[in-house]
Structure 1
Amino acid sequence: MIPFTERVIRMIQQIPPGRVMTYGQVAAAAGNPRGARQISCILHSMSAKHDLPWHRIINAQGGISTPTDREDKGSLQQELLESEGVAFSSDGKVDLNKYRWFPEGEYI
């Protein structure tokens, strides 16, 4: 496993319940500010194996990127976040100022 992937996995595992990070935020904090799409690939291929809280990763607009009609993962993601106390606005967005988590030492 490459070091970037290892850093991403460790970071995602640390996100506390009720908090979120964006794809780009994870990528930047793991050392590749332009690697947001890689985060999506890592989540898709390694979430089950590493028991990642994949649902805590959202897009930069505070929304869920997985369409709700695609295996219903978008709806599941929202349900999981809401069960942790994350509130969604009427337009389906999370208030990043309230729920975004910053790992120690990260100041994006």
Structure 2
Amino acid sequence: MALRAKKTGSRPTAAKSAPVPFTEAVMKAVRAIPRGEVRSYSQVALYAGRPGAARGVGHELKLLQGGGGVPWWRVTRAGGVLAPPVAHEQARRLRAEGVEVQQRGEVFRVKAKR
């Protein structure tokens, strides 16, 4: 005796994929920043699909061990300001990529392209 599938008249639906974990989404967004360009924490959060999670992006980047192949130095605070704990190293790496970084005292800022 063969079993038959019952017709319900409804169309099959595509399986919903699980949301990408926040950490993975952030790392993917940061890896996508082209050499010589920068994005703010809030822009990375937006590209990671989590608008408004700029602090979370900062937290994830702070937890990176040895960089993990993620170009963290391409992420800045709003207005292109570099984060004080890593500003010197970040400025060095950005300059090596051709990004113009200005310094006033201990404040580093990426010069905006016009």
Superposition TM-score tier, normalisation by shorter sequence: 0.7 to 0.9
In structure 2, how many angstroms separate the alpha carbons of the residues matched to 1:48 and 1:94? 23
Partner of 1:42: 60
- Larger Cα-atom Rg: 2
Matches within 5 A, 1:13-32: 13-32=31-50
Q: Secondary structure at the match of 1:37?
A: helix
Whether the aligned pair in 2 keeps the contact of 1:47 and 1:54 (CA below 8 Å) is no
**Percent of pairs with identical residues:** 35
Report which stretch shifted further, 49-58 or 75-84: 49-58
What is the aligned length? 92
Instruction: Give the alignment's TM-score, normalised by structure 1.
Output: 0.73
Aligned position for 1:84: 97
2:110 counterpart residue number: 94
Structure (1 or 2) with the greater strand fraction: 2
1-structure distance, mates of 2:31, 2:65: 10
Per-residue displacement from partner, 1:6-47 (whole Å, max 9, x unpaired)?
111111112121111100000112122110011111111135
TM-score calculated relative to the size of structure 2 = 0.70
The RMSD of aligned alpha carbons is: 2.1
2:81 counterpart (53, 63, 78): 63
**Distance (whole Å) between structure 2 residues aligned to residue 84 and residue 47 of structure 1:** 22
Unmatched segments (≥5 aa) in structure 1: 100-108
CA distance in 2, matches of 1:23, 1:90: 20
* Equivalence for 1:104: none
The answer as to whether partners of 2:28 and 2:48 remain within 8 angstroms in 1 is: no
**Dislocated runs of 4+, deviation >6 Å:** none
Rounded Cα–Cα distance in structure 2 between residues aligned with 1:15 and 1:63: 17
- 1:3 corresponds to 2:3: no
Q: Which runs of 5+ in 2 are unaligned?
A: 1-19
Mapped to 1, the partners of 2:67 and 2:91 lie a distance apart of: 22
Structure 1 letter corresponding to 2:27: I
